[in-house]
Structure 1
């Protein structure tokens, strides 16, 4: 395994999810040169399971996780749920309480510590809007989840 420069995994995910489309390409290059894999996407729904499913599907399609390995699916799931807790202010509910989200998401995977024996980690960052299902009545929101694989 090649020693890579240390770059915080959570900070990398947050910077990427907050980046403009013009900034993303250079930032992806910087993050990937530090040894991480990245995946970007968008999701929106009043149903939490659709948000979770969109992020999981993107991770599988981009090859960030091996769906045949339980530990990888489990780590991703918990990172997503932790990020959703931030977005929903601790109450992981959307449609049940008349809320909807429109989110950008980023997944970053790799060695998060200088000591490579710590193994791989996965971070999920979310940024977008949440609010009543009426255009113009939403506000910004963000969340970050990090879990070891």
Structure 2
């Protein structure tokens, strides 16, 4: 059995295309590997942000048990993710887990700013070398992102 860890950090919910993309990633993962266990952490819930280190440390243990991780981020609202990363302790084992980041921003420039921010933040907890799947709201960029997910699943 493989484990897919999903981290959702968008306050816009289903209106954010990154959540739509990550849902498609999960759907295709379950079609390809039917016995996949999906572990989800929704950072937008009030309890997630008020969590103490005692709660976050077991979460880190669960994260490192994942076979791959996926992060949904609306690039205009990464406050939840920032707070979570500040509390998450460094774990060198996280760097061994493939990481897919789904970014949904208003335009490509906003997505690039989010990627630059992530490049500085992720190494502080041991995460590195993500694969970015992004959309900036247009129908064409969303379709391109869906095609990218399909290509990833073909591997």
TM-score (norm 2): 0.31
Q: Which structure: greater strand fraction?
A: 1
